[in-house]
Structure 1
Amino acid sequence: ATEVWHFLRLLYVKLGVQHCVHDGAAVAPQTPDSIAAQLMRQFRGQHIGLLAPLVVNRKGVYTELADWARPRGFTHLRVDGQFLPTTGFPRIDRFKEHTIELPVVSLDVSADNEALLREMLARALEHGKGVVHVLSDMAGLREAMLAGTATDAIGSLQVFSTKRACPVCSTSYAELDPRLFSYNSKHGWCPECVGTGVRLTREQRKALDDSVRDDKESGREQTFGEVELDDVADDACPACQGTRLNPTARAVRFGAQGTAHAGIGITELARMSVTEVRRWVEAMQADQRLSARENDIARDLVPEIRSRLLFLEEVGLGYLTLDRGAPTLSGGEAQRIRLAAQLGS
């Protein structure tokens, strides 16, 4: 109600630093040469496809992409894992989130083909704005495409990026998005508990996880009041320890090393009280070690966060932690949160 979480999400999108979920290293850009070397090393002797992501998890029909690709000699687009012809491109669901990739080339990875690989990689990175998807283990793909049968279960996909990759293991990461920090969105929720923070059975998980549904509701942000479950355990989810967010979201840290607010994750903030978060925000404002760019960004968001925290303190809720769920609030606490929201509006 007070929109504190909304502004904290924006702060982490703008100023958070992604760290690798495997080894904790800060994510940094890769060069095309380093990606090519990694492909030569990892896929030597294999047949792979290079695909340029044109749309990632966005709603729409996108017939214009097929119209753009067709005269340029591209016969197919890969839509949500299905290879669809650019001639007679079918109408896709406008209200569902789609990922659409441009198949740039498929080739054998070998020393003889290294020059071709580098040339096609550069083209794929250009179309994908610095990102390339590599499809391997493609046995049966050509036959399925000729037969017109499903292709979404064929192959293994890996993402490489000139923008954001781990310097240790070279795992690439997508640009930060506010939905990554939302436990009501499939982009952010912990896949084990589907953003509930508690241990679920397989049946309960399937009932909540809209990404496994094949209907018009799939792919949208939802609240869990829409789905009622019986016998939900009180145990914290073992995967996320009750924080509700997935490993990628939990591995985004805020603040440069050596500062008072160094390296704190959004789930750690969520477990602080309103008063503690307000003090953290004020310490960040007073810290002179943010860069000029970081200060410019923080200047827009921090006052919004601080004012809403102050309103919560003014109505006597400074002791509440930000991750307190609405069902656990007393009637008086819920009423005072609404009052704080009115004060802030």
Structure 2
Amino acid sequence: MNVPDLFSFQSPVKIDSGWRALENIPLELAGSGARKPLVLCGPQRDGTMETFTAAFADSGTAVVLYEGPPADPDPAVLRELWNLYRDRGCDAIIALGGRATADAAKVLNIAVSGRPEDVERAAGGKSVAGPLRPFFYCPTTPGDGRETSCFARLGKWDFSSQSLMPNLAVIDPRLLREGPSGALGAALVSALATAVEACLAPARNPLSDVYAGVVIRLAAENACAAKKRTLVLAPAANALCLSGVVLSNTARGPASRLAVALSAKAPIREAAAMAVLLPHAAAFLAGKPPRLRSLILALAGADAPPASLGAAGLSKETLPEAARLAACGDGGLSEADGLAILSLAWKGTP
């Protein structure tokens, strides 16, 4: 392995995965110096809440529950949660749910680790004063990978800091449900894109490569299971949790940049654009077309992406503007390279 002269990698995320992994939470809390977590509970069903609370039954750990935080809590809700955390003597946060719940927990952690006013100061990618309070994430759906990343979004505010990453992700199959139709396939395609582009990035990071390799293997295994119409939610959740770590330690690649730009300028969802663009972006980075299209189709299942941007109904005239939006001036994707990838993706699979 060729180790670069300079690279950086950081991950505070520990993963406890497996049957009855929930029962480890009280011990993990004690190891973090915490005794009373505030649990933000997203929409629950099928007894997941009962399963979660039962894990604390014999531990002596007090749990404060807050059910149903809105997807985009406004400052008044954040102030209410801050008061609840302070008044009940909480010293940690657990997000039980999916992306929206995890984002709310991350932003709340900024507030309870300081003052509610710190949230607005930290918005827009500004530094977050750390360290923050212990933060655990318990998915009830496999998620989309950003739950364990250093990123969060709350309404109009975007946050980016390694301090926002959870200290622990607890993946217990008893909690996991499939979620909306097509959501898991789209999330795994996005995780696959993050991992493939990390492995092919010009500035290679050997530790990110290790994590990305596991994500790719788990995605491939999930694709094989999908062909047999069997659900393997725990491996998928592990792949997505690891992809959040990869995302936090690598620059965004051309497929993700172009997908975001396209979805902003054309009538196509970011996930669908990503699925079409990834084989072409990977071919651009690797110098030859990797065998990704069949894997993407298997992951997507019944929600298979179009064969090309043209087949998706996109006008070729939208491509130059998307390439301009996706271009970055930091030695990454150039406007010309972005347009070349978009043009290939508009025509179809190489």
Q: TM-score, normalised by structure 1?
A: 0.32
Instruction: Tell which structure's C-alpha radius of gyration is larger.
Output: 1
Q: TM-score, normalising length from structure 2?
A: 0.31
Higher helix proportion: 2
Q: Which structure is richer in relative contact order (CA contacts within 8 A, separation 6 or more)? A: 1
